[in-house]
Amino acid sequence: MARKRVAILISGRGSNMTALVEAAKDPAYPAEIVLVLSNRADAAGLARAQAEGIATVVVDHTRFGKDREAFERALQAELEHHRVELVCLAGFMRLLTPWFVRRWEGRLINIHPALLPAFKGLNTHERALAEGATHHGATVHFVVPEMDSGPIILQDRLRVLATDDADSLAARVLEIEHRIYPQALALVARGEVAIGDR
């Protein structure tokens, strides 16, 4: 079966992007990374993608002012140009409008550093500690218009230690992220999970 053509959208460091790129080096992996797209020219992940020989593009959201759809039409044009079939958000710090999300329904996935539906949004590790959560983790889910709310593809969790601070928790959750994101993308690329059957 042909490998699915995947774009990864980033805004920063790109460690999850790197995990996906590494997984896709295996010829048996069902997806290939054909594009890394960032809304920020200073995203560190861009250099890594370039070093791997992957096409990169910057679509600077600030050029579009408050017009989110104009920004997304520019994203869409890049995705079409590169004949992208699946989109992975990996630390992409822009909210996407229903216009874009519906267009990619079932083909757009995100990684979130918490056990959804707990701790949607930002600062998940601080909030997990503040609330005394006994467990924490990471989630890969399909993206729907409502933030951090789509059907869950994969999750894994860890026990919060009495000695944990936000940094130690973030580091251990990140290890989970790097493990489950490639697994989840493979499931979607092989058609083993789909949004339609919830």
In the block, tokens 């959750």 appear at 173
Q: Of residues 104-123, which lie at the interface with ligand GRF (CB under 6 A)?
A: 111-113
Please give the single-letter amino acid code of residue 141.
H
Catalytic residue among 112, 125, 136, 141: 112
Cα angle 63-65-66, degrees, rounded to a multiple of 5: 145
Please give the single-letter amino acid code of residue 94.
R
**Is residue 112 annotated as part of the catalytic site, yes or no?**
yes
Residue selected from 6, 14, 169, 193 as contacting ligand GRF according to rule CB under 6 A: 14
Q: Which residue is nearest to ligand GRF (CB)?
A: 91
* 177 counts as binding ligand GRF under rule CB under 6 A: yes
Q: How many residues bind ligand GRF (CB under 6 A)?
A: 13
Cα angle 174-179-183, degrees, rounded to a multiple of 5: 140
Question: For residue 135, which phi and psi values (nearest 5 degrees)?
Answer: -130, 155
Q: Is the peptide bond before 151 cis (omega within 30 degrees of 0)?
A: no
Separation CA 26–CA 107 (nearest Å): 21
Give the nearest distance from C-beta 195 to ligand GRF in angstroms: 19
* 91 counts as binding ligand GRF under rule CB under 6 A: yes
Q: Of residues 28-87, which lie at the interface with ligand GRF (CB under 6 A)?
A: none
Interface positions with ligand GRF (CB under 6 A): 10, 12-17, 90-91, 111-113, 177
